[in-house]
């Protein structure tokens, strides 16, 4: 297959970097990772990942400086056959999607592009935005082929999912669609064709569906806990050898840069009549408040030191964007004597080493279920709050030992 020059705009971020590195590693293409963050660009050019993404670090070291080049200079756009931008439509402080950043980004890119280039929008977009960009290109009289091919990987699974997941491709004209198909056929086998609006909705449905599912589990968790019942005993009972409940998630802090944002995009698109989505947001965002309220009812919180285990928004990740651990921290700082935060993946001088946090804390809240926490030996006097059910599930094993928890304390 013919060799192309591919530029990934936002190429040193969580979406752009794994995609760029995998394209450089599995194809003949030359890949430029264009990014406005000079420190990330330097890091990537030294062969270092700016964030944790298992397996991609090894590939990066193999291709960087040979087939992949990180840069802050948009000059590389002049020789591009394909440009992939990950700039998206984030929600603002009024919870509305903002499109101006992407429009400005596309205007900037277009100044450098040769006619006939394929411009691919890769971020999750507010529905209808691909059409807006298409009209902008037409208005400017440019002969650029536009495609929208949303990224669907989960952070931490890029290496496996970029080549395994079916790729949704969409465009307004056949040539753009064909060229998008050609690009992805170099790294994956299954392609699903949709119209741009369908593809925009498909991606938002994916993330909202996950967010809603987490909200169901969190709502049920809070319901059971309110009645002094063990949610995970019930969870085990209804999922064990019962196929229709297999997808019943555990409870937990449902956060991160995408799920809530994308649910809110769908809510805005539904003229704010997406009641399920809004409810899911209230439930998921309300879990830290629930934990603090339960603690207040059980112990004299103002006299207690609390350790929060995990500041990243998900397990085995160093990504703290939109992490609800920080909401929990803020609430506990108001009501408890002292809050200690710890996370083995996050480098932040304000964090406390795990050993010290465990030695000092009266109360321990598992906020992020990093695997390393599973082996912790808690002191008998310590109250452990574990909405994820990690310690409980350890206890389900015959050899497991019971750990003190909020439930026992209340009784
Ligand atoms: N993180 C995920 O797993 C994931 C999955 C699917 C979709 N998305 C969507 O992809 C988009 C990007 O997410 P991300 O997690 O990669 O964000 P990120 O912050 O990790 O990466 C974005 C990168 O783009 C750079 N950048 C921003 N504006 C730029 C510009 N004008 N020119 C060049 N570089 C620019 C930033 O410096 C950063 O390195 C988001 O809109 C998100 O909704 C993310």
Q: What is the pLDDT of residue 393?
A: 55
Are 56 and 17 in contact by the 8 Å Cβ rule? The answer is yes
- Ligand 1, residues 39, 71, 258: which to mutate, most atoms within 8 A of Cβ? 258
At residue 9, φ and ψ (nearest 5 deg) are -90, 125
- CA–CA gap between residue 165 and residue 398 (Å, rounded): 38
Q: What is the pLDDT of residue 395?
A: 47
Q: What is the pLDDT of residue 95?
A: 87
- Ligand 1, residues 89, 257, 263: which to mutate, most atoms within 8 A of Cβ? 257
Residue position matching structure tokens 């002094």:
228
Which tokens sit at 33? 């990772």
Task: Kindly list the averaged pLDDT for each block of 10 residues, start to end, along the chain of length 411.
Answer: 91 98 96 98 98 96 98 98 97 93 97 97 98 97 97 95 97 98 96 98 98 98 94 96 96 96 96 94 98 94 98 97 98 98 97 98 97 92 93 50 44 36
- CA separation, residue 170 to residues 1, 110, 256, 395 (Å): 21, 20, 26, 48
Residue 320 CA to ligand 1 center (angstroms) comes to: 14
Q: What is the pLDDT of residue 391?
A: 86
Residue 122 CA to ligand 1 center (angstroms) comes to: 9
At residue 262, φ and ψ (nearest 5 deg) are -75, -30
Residue nearest atom 6 of ligand 1, based on CA coordinates? 151
Residue 10 CA to ligand 1 center (angstroms) comes to: 6
Residue 105 CA to ligand 1 center (angstroms) comes to: 12
């Amino acid at each position: 297959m013919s060799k192309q020059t591919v530029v990934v705009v936002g190429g040193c971020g969580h979406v752009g970097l794994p995609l760029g590195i995998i394209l450089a590693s599995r194809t003949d293409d030359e890949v430029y990772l264009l990014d406005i963050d000079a420190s990330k660009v330097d890091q990537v050019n030294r062969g270092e990942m700016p964030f944790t993404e298992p397996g991609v670090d090894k590939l990066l070291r193999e291709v960087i400086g040979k087939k992949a080049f990180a840069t802050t200079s948009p000059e590389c756009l002049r020789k591009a056959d394909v440009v992939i931008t990950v700039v998206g439509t984030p929600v603002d402080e009024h919870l509305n999607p903002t499109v101006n950043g992407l429009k400005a980004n596309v205007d900037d890119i277009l100044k450098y592009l040769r006619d006939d280039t394929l411009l691919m929008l890769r971020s999750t977009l507010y529905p209808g935005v691909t059409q807006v960009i298409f009209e902008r290109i037409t208005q400017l009289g440019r002969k650029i082929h536009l495609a929208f091919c949303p990224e669907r990987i989960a952070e931490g699974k890029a290496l496996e999912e970029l080549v395994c997941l079916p790729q949704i491709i969409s465009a307004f004209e056949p040539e753009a669609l064909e060229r998008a198909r050609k690009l992805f056929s170099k790294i994956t086998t299954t392609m699903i064709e949709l119209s741009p609006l369908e593809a925009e909705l498909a991606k938002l449905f994916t993330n909202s569906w996950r967010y809603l599912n987490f909200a169901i589990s969190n709502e049920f968790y809070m319901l059971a806990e309110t009645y002094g019942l063990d949610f995970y005993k019930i969870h085990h009972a209804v999922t064990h050898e019962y196929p229709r409940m297999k997808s019943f998630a555990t409870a937990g802090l449902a956060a991160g840069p995408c799920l809530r944002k994308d649910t809110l995009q769908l809510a805005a698109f539904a003229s704010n009549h997406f009641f399920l989505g809004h409810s899911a947001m209230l439930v998921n965002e309300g879990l830290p408040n629930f934990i603090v309220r339960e603690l207040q009812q059980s112990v004299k919180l103002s006299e207690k030191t609390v350790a929060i285990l995990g500041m990243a928004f998900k397990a085995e990740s160093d990504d703290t964007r939109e992490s609800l651990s920080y909401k929990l921290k803020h609430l506990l700082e108001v009501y408890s004597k002292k809050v200690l935060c710890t996370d083995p993946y996050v480098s932040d001088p304000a964090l406390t080493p795990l050993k010290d946090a465990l030695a000092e804390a009266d109360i321990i809240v598992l906020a992020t279920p990093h695997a390393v926490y599973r082996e912790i030996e808690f002191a008998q006097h310590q109250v452990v709050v574990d909405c994820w059910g990690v310690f409980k599930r350890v206890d389900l094993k015959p050899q497991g030992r019971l750990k003190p928890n909020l439930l026992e304390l209340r009784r």
